[in-house]
Amino acid sequence: MIYLFDIDGTLTPSRLKIDPEFEKFFLEWMTDKEVIFVTGSDKDKTIEQVGEKIWTNASRVYQSCGNAVYQGGELIERKDFKLTFELESLLAKFLGRSNWQLNGKVYGNHIEERIGLINFSTIGRSCPQEAREAYAEWDKDVLERETFCRIIEHKFPELEATVGGQISIDIYPKGQNKAQVLDDLTGPITFFGDKCDKGGNDYPIVAEMERQFEENRRHCVVHRVKDYTDTWDILKSY
């Protein structure tokens, strides 16, 4: 059995470090299992959240929604995607259209280029945790990020855009989402993720796993968790 995990919101609080007690539990839990991570974040942010030990003890780590693959601590595969002038112009328009500015402050670092994807945030990735949580709560009703994702996919049919974390969206070439990691993996898979609904960046892999299960191509189990405490509770039974 392969145990496949999202990171942010699944093993850690969003954009925060792993709970020390859960870290101790998880390190012991993963010792005799094949554990693989698939996250929209880059290597440095993931290590900052889960720690060097958990990151290096994983069988494989798929960063940037699977567009940067690490094994044994080494980068073994990458798929690049560069920000175009046209896409950057559209994202700049989103900053001017965002209604969040009527509710709270906007911070810096709106666009971040990672291996294989662009991460975009209207509030800005430099925002403090309090503002991050306020934006996430506001967006539950407003659905600003979902709206921006639909606009991007309409204007650029060759791209996909999904909601990730509390404050941002991930943009990448069509098909270069988390589901692509399934092409590398054989055998049954148990997946844990917190953004499994349509529009979330875990949705593509969940949808593909469910399709493969229905077609009797693979035994799959999906755990849709609300936060790391859900994951912790479930893992106690494995």
DSSP, res 73: T
Distance (Å, whole) CA 139 – CA 133: 10
The answer for residues whose C-beta is within 8 angstroms of residue 50's C-beta and 6 or more apart is 7, 11, 12, 17, 18, 23, 37
| CA 15, 67, 169, 208 torsion-angle sign | negative
Contact 4, 26 (CB under 8 A): no
Distance (Å, whole) CA 153 – CA 173: 10
Distance (Å, whole) CA 52 – CA 62: 15
- C-alpha atoms less than 13 angstroms from C-alpha of 3 in its C-beta half-sphere: 16
In the annotation, is 8 catalytic?
Answer: yes
Number of helical (H) and strand (E) elements in the chain, helices listed first:
8, 11
Quick one: tokens of 227? 């936060």
Distance (Å, whole) CA 96 – CA 170: 19
Catalytic-labelled residue, pool 8, 170, 194, 202: 8
Catalytic residues: 6, 8
